[in-house]
Structure 1
């Protein structure tokens, strides 16, 4: 019989190295061309470590991949391999050494591992800041020279030459500083994720009820991102104050004591920003707590979606999720309003500072405001705007990171599994004893014993039957033998390797074969014996893909009996010396039970030590057992029996009571439907090419449609009217070369400038508040629609979509919808108006010479288009590669007891798998970083060309322009190059974030498709 089953099994087992070969053709196919293109890309691709210096300097080694991204869709194979410390395992080993050495303090370990590198990046940042501050000094000198009757061209050329050189060097240094900051952040991110995963493999089962326990999905996504954002901005904590001090000193040199009046205003605004940042920090902490509660409920609901649908609880849980989401959104609303108020303060502060300073200088001090003084002061105030805007954000980001690090520390401080609960080497034990408990007392808490005074000795080759009433402590005995329970007294000895079958079956989202192999090499003969002995042959016949059929999340496409037999096969294939089987036959009928007991327990495992927990009266009565253990009220009664014949000689007789008394699963003989040749879960889809108009239009409809767009357009127009109007007023005010002004006219000019500045700040407040309101509306709409669609989805949808993918939609994606997307679109709209209006003003000032800027703008557009296509592709690859990481973490955390039971090698393999998945994700991150800096360095170099054209035009038209117009054009030229780069970057962010809103809508469409496929 066994030989027959083994022979039959060969036809149901897919070849281990089976690959699909293409049909032969005499004509080259499109796929052949794509493969050839990929091969050429692979051959031509350089890495940062192998590229020549010139190529590394300007990131030119990215050109082949950028070109490929503009001709076809990029795949993971097109991206650079990670090198050295950028690999997860290498970065983790470096960090964990410092982590253990510094009392397991994350902050101390970060300082020890990356402090020096952060400092070097900080020095580079200080250099770039000095270059930016140098620009107002050049502006002051240029306007002063223009105001003189005779222009000293030699002196002017020397200043401008040094200035252009500093801009070029600044472009290279700034991009490389950002590149290496990204590398540090990459290593820190994978390190923190690896640290969390290692803890998940170590934490005790009891710690899951700890009040400090937080959701690992949130730690893996939102909290890691918070630390990441702080890492990017940590140097700003000390550079921004230095920059403020230097700029204030330069202001003092320009407008004398009036600078201190501006400094007083700065102090007031900084105080307001600090208060806002502190309120935002506490609000963000509330958001994270509410999000934890929501994510916990969502995971519970979708992990038990079969039960929810069986009991028609969809509406009940929809209401529960809606209430949790409403509580979270109330905190999000406060956070968004505080953000809008903060942006108002940041935009209003330079305007208020300049107004107060000019009023004090021109009215109180009675001094003449010249074009050189005004526009130099304006440039310095603009130089103050960024640090004043960034400092509260940096503080807020660091507060959020500190909150997240505290959450990390809480998770990492949870109680761990204690391997010392089980002794592996005890010379006092006889050689034939493989498991023993002496005077053992065990409990799930230190103060409550569930098993008391346990004494048990199991010899090599024993078949031990453990039985007892429900809740008597049979599973607790298995946990005690594994060391999972707290050992309150006594000792536990386990000599050999253990394979464990958990009462709660644990199935991974992979094929049946991969679940059975569990990381071990494929042995065809051994594998065939195992699946035959475990009664899996009839089940494999039902699957179109045989053992290559993919199992859904938590085994949703398998019946209870099928899951039980797959898990049993996994334990048998492990070839462990001891098999600890907790009720593996409870989910099968009596006939299958008889077959498995005879073929598997008594035959396949005849030479093994087997501890079998069961309720079956037939098995309990079997004479094959060497020992029978009765568990009653936490007490054990062990009785050893003499076995007359070898175990493989025994079979199990099926009594009438057993045949009708045990649970039977009709699903045993039901075929699994809609399996596409064994593949159940499809790869997560990603968009190709440009983001579809449908994605943008759907999101804008959620925002409020055309009415909101028109309103924001009007607000933005009024903002730029006030902004440029105030600058033009300054140009008119200081336009006379003789500088003769009377006090009344000065007071009037300051008053007009103040009103225009106030109008600018008010329009900024209206814009940001509107973006916050409509963004929350869209977020609520998308969340509710997605939740209702998912809860109403057929079970087939959940078969094809792992829980990690769904959790990713509710985690990172909803965070992006809540916070990042509204302000990304708002920032793009603001940068578009700001840049276009300032560029148009600069061109208008230069008259006919403004046409010289057109080629440079054309180059901007070409480079931006060349950059956006591969950038979108890599961003999508990064997003798609994030879900498998989260799915693996959640699956591993759920099956941690089984993983630990199989030994340290299995734990190490799961950790290595986590490294591999993180590396796939990190490859996308690294490639995205390279392409971003490739773009940035070119944008800044062309920006230097724009400044050169503008200044050259101003020199050529020196006889026709007033010092005021020269100052206005030069000031705008300084901001236009950064504005154009920021505009493209904002559009890139919008393009990368837009699919997130599409993904929530895709959930709805996928649900509809799944519903039709089930009809």
Structure 2
């Protein structure tokens, strides 16, 4: 299958020069186009060669196979995290080294040169000092610019690696789904896969941004402490103690707590998505039986449990943010206050350089490191969930060759390869099943199939019947290789197999694309298949013929229409053996008769056909009829021979009773499209297929224009309420008042620079050189430190208030969607059943 949107414009990054890559000017054209006319999917560029999903998936899959083999040799459980490290360690390590140079060398040089530059203004002015001041100024600006460029590019590069890991994991999940056997499918749910693809893999985008700081922090802290020690000496230990307590004791615990909560959230989300998928698919049945209220309570209970853990996580993150905001000034306060108490000299170069040093330490220790630990804990939970999914049982080729004689490469026909010119007498296309016993689970008490022996010659029509649970579908799964035999052999003779499942499914595409399923369009064969599967009348009724979009984003089809499209998909594929798993159960009697006559015994007459059905009268034309009972072949022979047995009469009686019961409660089905015939004929509808299809999808998933202000007000009123919004506004005003009336900070800023010696203040400012030394009492020092304390606390109060505001907004963004979801559920339950038929689950 090909993508509906083909990106034709190559990525300009490939041909961009060094300057363009350095300042990202190669991307300006896209922003310019978006500003003028808006962007669509077709305006995007092709992905860079190293970001292709197929290549990334191949790399990770190869590493995962190596990890599985090594773990198998050691008798241990394979680790998916090791496979990820094996795949992406080198590129991430190289970027990590650049990040280390940035924070260990370049960034500390900024306050270092700043102190030297400020020192010029407190020294005697000479030509030599003037020249050095310009050098320090140049270096300070150079390091600042270099740090800005390095920080942005390293973040971009680390984010790109996270994106690559996410894409590779998604590709690996898709490949795993295609390999799962029935036992593996029974151990997973659609909700779990959706959660893995939408939530768990996104953790890689976040953790790669901060993971390097786990090893950078232990190096940066001693470097910064050494540089701070040169200015304030032993007072550095006071700041280091504050950082140590908050980083080691508080932040590590909070990071561990976030990881535990993430695991609980993931489990609740899996359960909710699973239940909601089932409810949406079965909404018509729920409404017919008036079960809306109990299911609404169930959904509300599941959502409440999930939101409860999400809120707890948000409070932890809000508290972490508040600590980060508070710590920056508190570290500086502890160092300066300690320095004053031990009789240190307060100078401008010391104060301004300390601000930069502690800003770096606070950013590393209280922001980047905690976020790295928190995201690492969450990512470990996601990796564990991915690992459990990737270790589910799958169909292994080596098992097929051991117990089954078939060509696994030609098991399912792809319809694109050329036929080999082999003489007909050398090619065996018949089916032979010899004394096969099979079971879906290894520890089952009773085998699913026992002592099955069936032979089907080339071109033979074999009908399979039996009661519910007799093993009819399992027999077809055995032929497909989904069910592994414990004993016996299955010989396809190199034949190609096409399969129509018992539960037909449609993907988001046109009807014709659902039938072709990626094969090239053959007009003659397509018409034959459509006619044989009784789809011509449906094409006349559909709005755009076979160009009508179906699936989750298209119109709804009846069960019979879906079954016939699924049968047409199997019949369009050229194969030697066709496995048809009860395609007649969802269609009316006359339509079923047409399908058997025109399709099974007409279009496919030259191929081997195995039809599973409950409607025994359709098997009159079969060359052989097989009756299964409790997983064993009870009767096998021609229709006349089988029809004279008591078991056949029993099955026939059950069929008649089911038909009688169905007639008693039968409701007239109405086609789920408009009743009038479309003005576009099937042939004409095919012409405009691509245009119609793209318009429908884009209209549904994108929008243009501005969001009205009332939408925002309604959103916050739902999530916060009037009281919380009023409190938020008051808190904002309070923070501004603190900023404008910070008299204490102004007083500290106006205090002349001095040093303390022998209980005297010695002014160091040039304007106070002639001032007389005055005695200093203990109260004077206390009042000075008190002013400093008040200044820092007032700033911290302001910043803490802002952190609380951020937590409030974050809490609102959680509560509001939860309440909106509850309202949507109510609207779904309150909708008329006709609307549920017309609207699709997508």
Residue of structure 2 equivalent to 1:100: 65
Which position in structure 2 is the counterpart of 1:443? Answer: 439
1:150 aligns to what? 125
Aligned partner of 1:792 in structure 2 is 830
- 1:521 is displaced (CA, Å) by 1.1
In structure 1, the residue matched to 2:528 is 529
Following superposition, the deviation at residue 701 of structure 1 comes to 2.0
Distance 2:34 2:488 in 1: 65
Q: Which residue of 2 aligns with 1:127?
A: 101
Alignment match, 1:647: none
**Separation in structure 2 between the aligned mates of residue 642 and residue 207 of structure 1, nearest angstrom:** 37
> 2: distance between equivalents of 1:593 and 1:209?
32
- The CA distance in 2 between the partners of 1:523 and 1:297, in whole Å, is 42
Contact 1:699–1:778 at 8 Å: present in 2 too?
yes
- Tell me the distance in 2 between the aligned counterparts of 1:670 and 1:723: 68
* Mapped partners of 2:387, 2:343: distance in 1: 59
Q: Pick one of 8, 28, 32 that aligns with 1:63.
A: 28
Question: What does residue 732 of structure 1 align with?
Answer: 750
Q: Deviations over 1:120-148 (max 9, x none)?
A: 21222223323332222233223322233
Query: Following the alignment from structure 1 to structure 2, what is the Cα–Cα distance between the partners of residues 580 and 144?
Result: 87
What residue is the counterpart of 1:136 in the other structure?
A: 111
Q: 3-state DSSP class of the match of 1:102?
A: helix
Q: Does structure 1 retain, via aligned residues, the 8 Å contact 2:92–2:158? A: yes
Q: 1:604 is matched with which residue?
A: 603
Alignment partner for residue 819 of structure 2, among 781, 788, 793? Answer: 781
Equivalent residue of 1:215, what SS? Answer: helix
Q: What is the SS of the residue equivalent to 2:585?
A: coil
User: How many residues end up aligned between the 2 structures?
Assistant: 750
**2:286 corresponding residue in structure 1:** 308
- Residue aligned with 2:16, SS: coil
| Partners of 1:773 and 1:531 in 2: CA distance | 55
1:161 maps to 138
The residue that corresponds to 1:294 in the other structure is: 272
> How far does residue 319 in structure 1 lie from its aligned partner after superposition?
1.1
Partners of 1:298 and 1:701 lie apart in 2 by: 26
Query: Are the aligned partners of 1:452 and 1:634 in contact in 2 as well (CA < 8 Å)?
Result: yes
- Which position in structure 2 is the counterpart of 1:434? 430
- Partner residue in 2 for 1:193: 170
Give how far 1:433 is off. 5.9
Distance 1:376 1:550 in 2: 65
| Alignment-derived partner of residue 110 in structure 1 | 84
The answer as to 2:372 corresponding to 1:407 is: no
Task: Assess if the C-alpha contact under 8 Å between 2:284 and 2:837 holds in 1.
Answer: no
Q: Is the 8 Å Cα contact of residues 438 and 449 (structure 2) preserved in structure 1? A: yes
Q: Given the two structures, how large is their TM-score scaled by the length of structure 1? A: 0.69
Q: CA deviation at 1:698?
A: 2.6
The one-character-per-residue Cα deviations of 1:420-472 (angstroms, maximum 9, x if unpaired) are 3443159xx99656222222112222233122111111111110011122222
Cα gap change, 1:672/1:446 in structure 2, threshold over 3 Å: closer, same or farther?
A: same
Find the residue that maps to 2:587 and give its secondary structure.
coil
Partner of 1:85: 50
Backbone CA RMSD of aligned residues: 3.4
How much has 1:185 moved relative to structure 2? 2.3
Q: Is the 8 A contact 1:627 1:638 kept in 2?
A: no
Among 451, 454, 479, the alignment partner of 1:453 is 451
Given that 2:434 and 2:488 are in contact with CA atoms closer than 8 Å, whether structure 1 keeps it comes out as yes
Q: Give the superposition deviation at 1:283.
A: 1.6
Q: Give, in whole Å, the separation in 2 of the partners of 1:141 and 1:774.
A: 47
> Which residue in 2 is equivalent to 1:940?
none
Q: Distance in 2 between matches of 1:671 and 1:75?
A: 31
CA contact (8 A) 2:510 2:546 kept: yes
8 Å CA contact 2:191–2:273 kept in 1: the answer is no
Q: Contact between 2:436 and 2:486, CA under 8 Å: does it hold in 1?
A: yes
* Equivalent position to 1:179, from 156, 169, 186: 156
Q: SS at 1:535's partner residue?
A: coil
Larger deviation, residues 764-773 vs 335-344: 764-773
**Counterpart of 1:588?**
587
User: 1:565 and 1:218, CA in 2 relative to 1: closer, same or farther beyond 3 A?
Assistant: same
Secondary structure of the structure 2 residue equivalent to 1:48 = helix
Output aligned runs, 1:971-982, within 5 Å. Answer: none
What secondary structure is seen at the aligned counterpart in 2 of 1:423? coil
Report 1:552-701 matches (<5 A). 552-553=551-552, 557-620=556-619, 622=620, 624-641=621-638, 670=671, 672-673=673-674, 682-683=697-698, 684-701=700-717
User: How far apart, in 2, do the equivalents of 1:785 and 1:657 lie?
Assistant: 46
Q: Deviations over 1:570-606 (max 9, x none)?
A: 1111121111111111222222222221111111111
Instruction: Output one character per residue of 1:509-547: Cα deviation in whole Å (capped at 9) or x when no partner.
Output: 322111111111111111111111111122222223111
Q: Secondary structure at the match of 1:490?
A: strand
The 3-state SS of whatever aligns with 2:704 is: coil
1:392 paired residue number: 370
Q: CA deviation at 1:802?
A: 5.8
1:610, distance to aligned residue in structure 2 (A): 0.4
Instruction: Say if 1:723 and 1:756, in contact at 8 Å, map to a contact too.
Output: no
For 1:711 and 1:668, locate their aligned partners in 2 and report how far apart those are by CA, in whole Å. Answer: 57
Change (3 A) 1:272 1:48: same
Q: Deviations over 1:98-120 (max 9, x none)?
A: 33223364322332322221122
Distance 1:317 1:383 in 2: 53
Counterparts of 1:173 and 1:796, CA distance in 2 = 59
Cα distance change of structure 1 residues 641 and 773 upon mapping to structure 2, 3 Å threshold: closer
Structure 1 runs not aligned, ≥5 long: 1-18, 20-40, 644-653, 806-1015
Deviation at 1:390, TM superposition (A): 1.9
TM-score (norm 2): 0.82
SS state of the match for residue 499, structure 1? strand
Match of 2:12, SS? Answer: coil
Who is 2:471 aligned against? 473
SS in 1 for 2:36: coil
**Higher alpha-carbon Rg:** 2
User: Alignment partner of 2:749: what SS?
Assistant: helix
Q: Distance in 1 between matches of 2:116 and 2:703?
A: 52
Are 1:585 and 1:593, in contact at CA under 8 Å, matched by a contact in 2?
Answer: yes
Q: Aligned runs of 1:912-991 on 2, under 5 Å?
A: none
The separation in 2 between residues aligned to 1:297 and 1:660, in whole angstroms, is 32
Which range moves more in the overlay, 322-331 or 716-725?
716-725
CA–CA separation in structure 1 for the residues paired with 2:8 and 2:407? 52
Alpha-carbon distance in structure 2 between the residues aligned to 1:298 and 1:245: 53
Which structure has the higher relative contact order (CA within 8 Å, separation 6+)?
Answer: 1
Contact 1:355–1:750 (Cα < 8 Å) also in 2: no
Deviation at 1:158, TM superposition (A): 1.0
1:767 aligns with 2:767: no
- Contact 1:556–1:799 (8 Å) recurs in 2: no
Closer/same/farther in 2, CA of residues 263 and 797 from structure 1, 3 Å limit? farther
Tell me the residue number matched to 2:728: 712
CA contact (8 A) 2:159 2:206 kept: no
Deviation of 1:322 (Å): 0.7
Q: Distance in 1 between matches of 2:220 and 2:122?
A: 29
The CA deviation string for residues 318-376 of structure 1, in whole angstroms up to 9 with x for no partner, is 2111101111122122212212221222222233322222232212x122323332232
Q: Are 2:198 and 1:221 equivalent residues in the alignment?
A: yes
Shift of 1:609: 0.5
* SS of structure 1 residue aligned to 2:37: coil
For residues 13 and 455 of structure 2, what CA distance do their matches in structure 1 show? 61
Residue 708 and residue 235 in structure 1: after superposition, are their counterparts in 2 closer, same or farther (change >3 A)? same
Separation of aligned partners in 2, 1:592 and 1:321: 40
> 2:792 aligned to 753, 757, 769, which one?
757
Which secondary structure state, in structure 1, belongs to the residue aligned with residue 491 of structure 2?
Answer: strand
Map 1:494-513 to 2 at 5 A.
Answer: 494-495=492-493, 496-513=495-512
Structure 2, gaps ≥5 residues long: 69-77, 409-424, 641-651, 686-691, 755-762, 766-772
1:245 counterpart residue number? 222
Kept in 2: contact 1:617–1:658 (CA 8 A): no
The answer for the alignment partner of 1:51 in structure 2 is: 16
